[in-house]
A and B are shown apart, each in its own frame.
Chain A
């Protein structure tokens, strides 16, 4: 009887997925990988819910008349869409899922510094989500996700307090994730893993964590004051008592602007990993990417006044914020050069994650450049509160952040679950998303330029064509996402096969573990002796 060299097909490898069974083993886990999966499920739920509100918005806007719902209801649609997407999808999207899963492995650790706090952060997130869902079921909020006073504190008929508390609570989830990452990255790196040998995904999440720690508490206290004012009529922002509604805007945007960097930095990190792997080339200008990530996080804190240009902020402050907003664009632009430089003269493989990364680079560039239009105070006067702004932030948030996140999911899926998805379908999904996205949001730039206000459920008939185009594009975008998500979920129906642990030929430490990894990640703590991203000429396993 010959002895087989491969493991007998009957025995399943021990992984973090099958190391323990039962609901309790998932809900009481301290394994960062299982917590990442818990987050993935809940983030997906909120993404779908937020997406449904987007469908309702585009359905109403498909025709000029406000005929689907009345204006107060429409206000609730875009508010819930914004609240869910910003606080419950975009903020945790990469850090709490891919970050949680990969970062300990990328630094060569067995887990994050505080595993139980990691689990707590998920429970806090779920409780916060329940608050918001409760508010939704009671009738929702109509203030916009920005909760401007005095509408939110005095005049709104929606459930501001419940929603505000929900967002307040979700902030703590974000803070705990950031705290965990900072401690882990500072203190749990494997021997030999110096800062400049870290994968750039780690640098991106580190910069993000700085923003989470320093910014989130300010929006927490701001919402706390809104709740107090609305509940107890105390008057922090009420002009009748001498309060200043613009102070609310300052405090709100002090967090909410850096928040957009929380949303974009981790997907940028994912894109760097993807571009490097699928070019089989070290990222061009590693140091620039690392430092520009931190620069974005730091500079991102001093530009928030560009949301207040027309809010009776002082002209001089406006000038300062405008200049700073131009400066903050520089590190982001540097990254675009880094990515394209990485691909230059490399043999680029157009696998699914790479398609998303390429889409990201193009769409983020458009979104970022249009941000500069808005940073100019003169133009801002005409473009603010129009669809130009809506298009701008969807280009960076969806074309950028969400595409980067999705690309990251497709990239690390085989690592997380040991299965590969269908290549044809996944690529079709990516392409549909790209085209659907552009058809949805490019017309909105034109509409905004022509003066169509945002947050209106009706508009003059001359804009009907562009709006219909946008709504049609949204359908394609939705279909693309259905295919993409479906593709990933269907792959889970397949059994975990003996596919290569590293199908893409990546070089970062997490790919040296088994796919899916064991609970402990590493049997023995690795010792790092090479610089990051050293690609050898070893054969890259092509995905069939």
Chain B
């Protein structure tokens, strides 16, 4: 092995490793609370406008592809599993498995983003992006459907941005894991990132029914 694995040292202002790890965990959870409130604002806007324009929202939601949405949700849940496994093997200090599962998480996350990009392109082509050329073909209460799409793009866009940031961090973690930085004694970045990744998954768990499943009684699973 050409490069030496970095040696873990407790930071000088902490009394011991346990305090340091505990502090990081509390800090990460507090950050996730801010993320709850950040996405929460968008969920609020969704809540208000869906209350006011139920038919517009139901009709506009039908323009999303249910099969693709369910598939993407599956992909993301798989990436959550691989992330949990990466943390698991970090706890056990199994370097190669850590790297493997981090790479799998990255690939699955990338797949999700790829599918999302396809969906966005599809919407663009069908003039379903709010703006000057917006048109919701065959929609009920068309005057209010652009709000649905504004929220669709706002919420999934913000979610996708969080995934892209996550992907970049994953690249860093994979690089560090390959160098042997993460051992059973210290693997805090992997665990903290795991919390972040799972949180992004939870956001999607709510976005899926809210954006894709408003009313599928007429369209069923059809494209």
A and B touch in the complex (CB under 8 A): yes
Q: Which residues of A contact B (CB under 8 A)?
A: 104, 109-115, 117, 175, 178-180, 182-184, 186-188, 213-218, 220-222, 225, 228, 232-236, 241-244, 247, 250-251, 525
Contact B37 A214 (CB under 8 A): yes
Q: Is the CB of B34 within 8 A of A113?
A: no
Q: Which of B34, B37, B131, B143 meets A242, CB within 8 Å? A: B143
Cβ A241 vs Cβ B143 within 8 A: yes
Query: Per-residue 0/1 for B51-71: is the Cβ within 8 Å of any A Cβ (1 yes, 0 no)?
Result: 011001000000000000000
CB contact between A187 and one of B19, B39, B146 (< 8 Å): that residue:
B19
Q: How far is the CA of A282 from the CA of B29 in the complex (A)?
A: 36
Residues of chain B with a CB closer than 8 A to A175's CB: 31, 34
Check if B154 sits within 8 Å of A241, measured CB to CB: no
- List CB contacts (< 8 Å) of B3-19 with chain A: 12-15, 19
Q: Footprint of A on B, CB under 8 Å?
A: 12-15, 19, 22-23, 26-27, 30-31, 33-42, 44-45, 48-49, 52-53, 56, 130-132, 143-144, 146-147, 150-151, 153-154
**A235 pairs with B146, CB closer than 8 A:** yes
Residue from B30, B35, B150 in contact with A236 in the complex, judged by beta carbons closer than 8 Å: B150
> Which residue of A115, A186, A217, A232 is within 8 Å of B35 (Cβ)?
A217
A242-B144 CB under 8 A given contacts A188-B19, A215-B37 = yes
For residue B144, which residue of chain A has the nearest CB? A242
Q: Nearest chain-B residue to A184 (Cβ)?
A: B23
List 12 interface pairs A-B (beta carbons < 8 Å), by A numbering. A111-B12, A113-B13, A175-B34, A183-B26, A188-B23, A221-B38, A221-B40, A233-B130, A236-B154, A241-B150, A242-B146, A250-B44
Q: Which of B26, B36, B52 counts the most A-chain CB atoms under 10 A from its CB?
A: B26
B31's partner among A104, A179, A525 (CB-CB below 8 A) is A179
| In the bound complex, CA of A234 to CA of B157 (Å) | 14
Q: Nearest B residue to A248 by beta-carbon distance?
A: B45
Is B26's CB under 8 angstroms from A241's CB?
no
Shortest CB-to-CB span from A41 to chain B, Å, is 24
Residues of A within 8 A of B56 (CB): 242
Report chain B residues within 8 Å CB of A215. Answer: 37
B172 to chain A, nearest CB (A): 16
Q: Which of B44, B132, B144 contacts A241 (CB 8 A)?
A: B144
- Docked Cα-Cα span, A391 to B155, in Å, equals 40
Q: Which of B19, B37, B53, B154 has the most CB of A within 10 A?
A: B37
CB proximity of A228 to chain B, nearest CB, Å: 7
